[in-house]
């Protein structure tokens, strides 16, 4: 019975939700100008006027500002939704207050008159706002241009608020999906785990901080469910064997799709934050690992043996980013075995040879290279009309000799109890009898890479 554990500690992969909220900032500026009417009736800027800002919906004061030579003042970040009053004072002018100011007000014009330069206290300002009977309280009636600017700003604020609320709801769904899906996975309730992880993914399918994590988790659950179905099919009766194998095949196919979706999301994902970038890379490696594992399973179980070239691409992409030498070497061997199981014998030989370049005595690769080369040699000798291979007896004979050499080296280094030993000996005997070939020790065509 085929059985392989694919349990991964996916919950240890950090979920980075940084950046998932479309927050523009819950503050906005207030900008204006203080003017005074001169003797000629013209309005001129007031330089050096003190502009104080007090919040009136709650008792709170903010840093003040002093007008520049053009009479301009500004407050960079006042809370949205709050209500303020501006108090203006300065040498040679009378104090003025402007109530009912909201964050985002722009191009305010505050007219002052000549006076004794008195400055109102905060308490006097608040009393004036509460009882607006004094002549020094200005109307906040806005010009058409100000109203238009305010309407545009209010629209932007509303859109941002709605987007933030949606993002918050999305994060709730994502986190709940991870938690509930993870619990179901640990309980081996793969149906529920797959549904939960898929729910979380669909909540924000393009966000690189969560989508790949959820897709990788979904892939893992699909692999485990497919493996369970296959294992059951081995012991099942003829009436249910077929349906169980189809279920496993479907899960494996969906696992590949989920892995490729994760890779697609991560294709352009970058971050200046080192930790987030590391998470992207870890999730990419997890997706590549899952995908090549599924291709191996499909060929190994015989559920799908028509995807040899696709599996080669998947393995090569994984090998290119894997930094662990042992894992990289194992993947190289698994690729060769997957191609062998997929009937891509010539491609399999090439991959077995790559293993032998770094590990000349690898018994699995020696046996694989030899046995697959036997098949390749006979096809070359006899031709194959389906694959458009023209018979070439001379070349085929050379390939069979090379196969015999690999097989003999395998016999020389393999342990006495190796599972392929009897098959290899039988193959050599057949080559001797049918092709009059004798293995030539040390004559394999594989060369070892030079070490720097």
Count of residues for the chain? Answer: 452
Instruction: Give the whole-angstrom CA distance, residue 373 versus residue 205.
Output: 46
The pLDDT assigned to 156 comes to: 62
Strand partners, 30: 75
Residue 321: pLDDT over 50: yes
CA distances from 290 to 62, 127, 296 (A): 55, 69, 10
Residue 21: pLDDT over 60: no
Instruction: Give the whole-angstrom CA distance, residue 362 versus residue 355.
Output: 8
Confidence of residue 411 (pLDDT cuts 50, 70, 90): very high
167-190, pLDDT tens digit by residue?
A: 668 878 888 999 999 999 999 999
Per-residue b/e over 94-131, b at no fewer than 16 CB within 10 Å?
bbbbbbebbbbbbebebebeebeeeebeeeebbebbee
CA distances from 118 to 97, 214, 403 (A): 12, 65, 104
Instruction: Give the whole-angstrom CA distance, residue 217 versus residue 9.
Output: 9
Confidence of residue 13 (pLDDT cuts 50, 70, 90): very low
Q: How far is CA 421 from the centre of its chain?
A: 45
What is the CA angle 375-368-357, rounded to 5?
Answer: 120
Residue 63: pLDDT over 50: yes
CB 238 within 8 A of CB 209: no
The listed range with the strongest mean pLDDT (91-95, 100-104, 105-109, 273-277) is: 91-95
Residue 98: pLDDT over 80: yes
Residue 151: pLDDT over 80: no
CB 381 within 8 A of CB 392: yes
Tell the residue number behind the tokens 């003999």, with chain if given.
408
Mean pLDDT of 362-385: 94
The pLDDT assigned to 22 comes to: 29
Strand partners, 78: 28
φ, ψ at 16 (rounded to 5°): -100, 105
Instruction: Give the whole-angstrom CA distance, residue 421 versus residue 251.
Output: 35
For 64, half-sphere exposure in the C-beta direction (CA atoms, 13 angstrom radius) is 13
Q: What share of the chain is helix, strand, coil (3-state, %, to 5)?
A: 55, 15, 30
Confidence of residue 430 (pLDDT cuts 50, 70, 90): very high
Which residue would you say has higher pLDDT here, 164 or 402?
402
Residue 328: pLDDT over 90: yes
* Widest CA span in the chain: 123
- Both tokens of 39, joined, read 């003797």
Residue 302: pLDDT over 50: yes
Instruction: Give the whole-angstrom CA distance, residue 86 versus residue 354.
Output: 77
CA distances from 28 to 31, 74, 105, 142 (A): 10, 11, 8, 18
The pLDDT assigned to 18 comes to: 28
Can you give the C-alpha Rg of the chain in angstroms? 38
Residue 93: pLDDT over 60: yes
Per-residue b/e over 384-398, b at no fewer than 16 CB within 10 Å?
eeeeeeeeeeeebbe
Strand 27-37 and strand 108-112: pairing?
parallel
Tell the residue number behind the tokens 């909220």, with chain if given.
21
SS3 call for 25 = coil
Mean pLDDT of 371-385: 92
Query: Where do the DSSP E strands lie in 57-173?
Result: 60-66, 72-79, 83-89, 96-102, 108-112
Which residue would you say has higher pLDDT here, 323 or 441?
323
Lowest mean pLDDT, pick from 21-25, 242-246, 448-452 = 21-25
Strand 72-79 and strand 96-102: pairing?
unpaired
Residue 318: pLDDT over 60: yes
Report which of 65, 66, 64, 84 is spatially closest to residue 125, judged by C-alpha positions: 84
Instruction: Give the whole-angstrom CA distance, residue 415 versus residue 426.
Output: 17
The pLDDT assigned to 420 comes to: 93
The total of other beta-carbon atoms located within 10 Å of residue 228's CB is 17
């Amino acid at each position: 019975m085929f059985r392989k554990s694919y349990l991964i500690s996916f919950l240890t992969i950090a979920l980075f939700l940084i950046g998932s909220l479309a927050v523009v900032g819950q503050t906005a500026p207030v900008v204006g100008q203080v003017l005074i009417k001169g003797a000629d009736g013209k309005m001129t800027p007031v330089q050096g006027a003190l502009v104080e800002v007090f919040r009136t919906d709650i008792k709170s004061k903010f840093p003040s500002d002093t007008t520049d030579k053009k009479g301009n003042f500004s407050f960079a970040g006042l809370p949205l939704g709050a209500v303020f009053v501006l108090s203006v004072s300065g040498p040679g002018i009378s104090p003025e207050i402007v109530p009912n100011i909201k964050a985002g007000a722009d191009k305010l014009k505050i007219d002052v008159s000549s006076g004794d330069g008195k400055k109102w206290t905060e308490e006097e300002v608040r009393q004036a706002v509460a009882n607006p009977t004094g002549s020094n309280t200005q109307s906040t009636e806005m010009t058409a241009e100000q109203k238009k600017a305010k309407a545009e700003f209010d629209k932007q604020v509303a859109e941002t608020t709605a987007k933030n609320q949606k993002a918050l709801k999305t994060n709730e769904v994502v986190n709940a999906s991870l938690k509930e899906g993870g619990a179901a996975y640990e309980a081996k309730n793969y149906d529920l785990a797959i549904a939960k992880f898929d729910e979380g993914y669909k909540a924000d399918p393009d966000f690189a901080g969560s989508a790949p994590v959820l897709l990788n988790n979904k892939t893992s659950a699909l692999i485990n469910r497919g493996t369970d179905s296959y294992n059951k099919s081995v012991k099942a009766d003829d009436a249910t064997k077929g349906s169980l194998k189809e279920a496993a095949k479907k899960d494996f196919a969906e696992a590949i799709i989920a892995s490729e979706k994760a890779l697609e999301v991560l294709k352009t994902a970058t971050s200046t934050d080192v930790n987030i970038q590391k998470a992207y890379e870890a999730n990419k490696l997890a997706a590549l690992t899952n995908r090549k594992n599924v291709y191996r399973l499909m060929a190994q179980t015989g559920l799908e043996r028509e995807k040899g070239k696709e599996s080669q691409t998947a393995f090569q992409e994984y090998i290119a980013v894997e930094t662990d030498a042992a894992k990289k070497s194992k993947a190289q061997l698994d690729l060769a075995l997957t191609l062998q199981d997929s009937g891509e014998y010539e491609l399999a030989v090439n991959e077995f040879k790559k293993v032998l370049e770094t590990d000349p005595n690898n018994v699995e690769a020696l046996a694989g290279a030899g046995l697959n080369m036997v098949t390749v040699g006979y096809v070359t000798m006899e031709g194959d009309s389906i694959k458009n291979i023209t018979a070439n007896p001379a070349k085929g004979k050379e390939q069979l000799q090379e196969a015999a050499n690999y097989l003999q080296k395998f016999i020389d280094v393999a342990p006495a109890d190796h599972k392929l030993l009897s098959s290899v000996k039988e193959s050599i005997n057949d080559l001797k009898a049918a092709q009059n070939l004798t293995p030539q020790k040390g004559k394999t065509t594989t060369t070892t890479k030079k070490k720097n």
